[in-house]
Structure 1
């Protein structure tokens, strides 16, 4: 059976969502991020990314980690792309080499052009958060940098229903989970209605809702 190491309030959400899409059973080991703990190295600390047992599995010390039949993958996008190829269902994975390349292209574009600034917005901008002047400037700069890649997405999704293949695939899942980090910035997202409609469609899928319910059940 597949094992996902990492709480769902992490990039493990990508793997959990995809497993629901593919109908894959999995075990989940609730490894928590060390930065969320006051004393992660303490003997009584919960299992976390600095715990010796976890570091023995993944010296990178980051979640999620995916285990499948002896294979250990310590990068979430490597994990989703692998699962989609090996356990394809309903065309979530690539049907040929060209689709495989396009799914990697969109996934890597999300990780490199969108995720860093989207994470800045996630951590510093949101309901109930009082921003300092410095934080407000960081959020404004991140939003400004995201305009260009989101315009690329807007132009594409104004013509195409999905990122590739005319159907929901692992590329949409990877992009949607990364773009979710910036979703709370209404002023930014409001400039891109096609992106917003596509994202809403992705998040309306039952598999996303199953992942989200599990995520919300975890402590913050």
Structure 2
């Protein structure tokens, strides 16, 4: 059985949401970030010797499927979608390339900035937040949001005119920027698209499981 290592309060949320969408039965091994660990007797974490045998990089999530081991959440998502098949997966080589392109775009053009918005507006304690870095990150995301808004203009999705793994992976990266509503007001198609992604039952089930997980 395909196994996902990670916790809901991490990038593993992308893989666990996708498993819901695909109706894929997976084994979930909770692994928290090392900086959240509370001593050697606490839960399995990303620097635990047991987990380092799975991912020597010491990051979550990771995935195993038989003899295959994969790291990097968006690569795992592409694999899971193609393994399961169906409408969330690419139907041909061209769609496969487009989904890969949007996944790389999400990691390079959006996530470095959206994470800083999340950290410095919400996630970090107030005394550790950097308002100037948050401001610069918002400014940096205006151009990528415009690109995504234009891409959504034709069908409301980025590949194939339907909801796919590319939408899901992008949505989980764009979600980090939600503390900056001005970005979404300036990109109304992105706003509507993200709301539609979050209205899906697979996402709601993932969030419900995440809310039960210790903070």
With normalisation by structure 1, the TM-score equals: 0.93
CA–CA distance in 1 between the matches of 2:138 and 2:13?
Answer: 23
Q: What SS is found at the alignment partner of 1:107? A: helix
For structure 1, which segment, 167-176 or 149-158, has the greater mean C-alpha deviation from structure 2 after superposition?
149-158
Match of 1:163 in 2: 158
Q: Gapped runs of 5+ residues in structure 2?
A: none
Aligned pair 1:84/2:53, yes or no?
A: no
**What is the CA distance between 1:126 and its match in structure 2?**
2.9
Q: Gapped runs of 5+ residues in structure 1?
A: none
Match of 2:94 in 1: 98
Match of 1:18 in 2: 18
Moved beyond 6 Å, runs of 4+: none
CA–CA distance in 1 between the matches of 2:195 and 2:10?
Answer: 20
What are the Cα deviations for residues 153-193 of structure 1, in whole angstroms up to 9, with x where unaligned? 11121233100100000100010000000012112222111
Q: 5 Å matches for 1:177-196?
A: 177-196=172-191
With normalisation by structure 2, the TM-score equals: 0.95
Alignment check: 8 A CA contact 2:145 2:183 kept: no
Q: What SS is found at the alignment partner of 2:126? A: coil
Provide the aligned length of Structure 1 versus Structure 2: 215
2:59 aligned residue (59, 62, 78):
62
Q: What SS is found at the alignment partner of 1:47? A: coil
CA–CA distance in 2 between the matches of 1:136 and 1:101?
Answer: 37
Match of 1:141 in 2: 136
**What is the CA distance between 1:106 and its match in structure 2?**
0.8
Alignment check: 8 A CA contact 1:121 1:182 kept: yes
Alignment check: 8 A CA contact 1:114 1:146 kept: yes
Aligned pair 1:118/2:114, yes or no?
A: yes
Alignment check: 8 A CA contact 1:20 1:207 kept: yes
Match of 2:70 in 1: 73
**Alignment RMSD:** 1.6
CA–CA distance in 2 between the matches of 1:127 and 1:14?
Answer: 18
CA–CA distance in 1 between the matches of 2:181 and 2:125?
Answer: 15
Q: 5 Å matches for 1:34-53?
A: 34-37=34-37, 42-53=39-50
